[in-house]
Amino acid sequence: MTPRFTPVLFDLDGTIVDSAPGILASLAWTYEQLRMPIPAPAELLKWVGPPILDSFRDLAKLDEDESRYALALYREHYAEVGVLDATPYPGVLDVLRDIREAGVPLSLATSKPESLARTILDHIGIADAFTEITGASEDEVRSSKPDVVAEALRRLAADGDAAPAPVMVGDRIHDVEGAAEHEVPTIFVTWGYGSPAEAAGAIAVARTSRELLAELAL
């Protein structure tokens, strides 16, 4: 049977793992180093998903140089302390393995730096399920979701994996809109950090890993 979607692109934070504890702790530490008031946890949750550099500009209201300095502080702390504070959501690793076993090309598509994303996937024992692990470049030149999706599709094509019916799986509006720029539909998962309104534009909403597997129709 021909899979409904191929290839499948997956977001990481809020979709595969609950990485908020490590991210929020490193953000709070960064605010302390900058001698700025630490926002409430609910406010810091808005940072999880979009590129962190953009959030220092848009949410912390820092200028370009300040944002890059803050990002350097954050990354150093997160790489040493926060990156492994990430827990897989129930059933999601089984979905990833099922995709791989069905022979469907699978790529990560995250705005997290690729090296840190790989560290997390290795830590939770799922890196080998992915055909490609695509994330932000270390210099942030590639960090927006549209750019990450484009790179994931490019790498898969270079592998010889055509994209007749690609799909994105994610939990934020950035996933939906970023994939849509490349005419890739999104299945929105509700267990992450996005609000219900962020599902607007998605082709389906999955509330559990079982529902997600049904939508993928492997």
Q: Examine the residue annotation and report whether 11 is marked as an active-site residue of this protein.
A: yes
Measured CA to CA in angstroms, residue 58 lies from 51, 148, 196 at distances of 11, 20, 22
Q: Are 178 and 149 in contact (CB under 8 A)?
A: yes
- Annotate 11-46 with b (16+ C-beta within 10 A) or e (fewer): bbbbbbbbbbebbbbbbebbbeebeeeebeeeebbe
Q: Which of 11, 13, 18, 85 is catalytic?
A: 11
CA 120 – CA 70 distance, rounded (Å):
22
- Would you call 187 helix, strand, or coil by DSSP? strand
Q: Are 38 and 28 in contact (CB under 8 A)?
A: yes
CA 132 – CA 157 distance, rounded (Å):
11
> What string of DSSP letters covers 134-185?
EEE-TTSSS-SHHHHHHHHHHHHHHTT---SB-EEEESSHHHHHHHHTTT--
Residues tagged active-site: 11
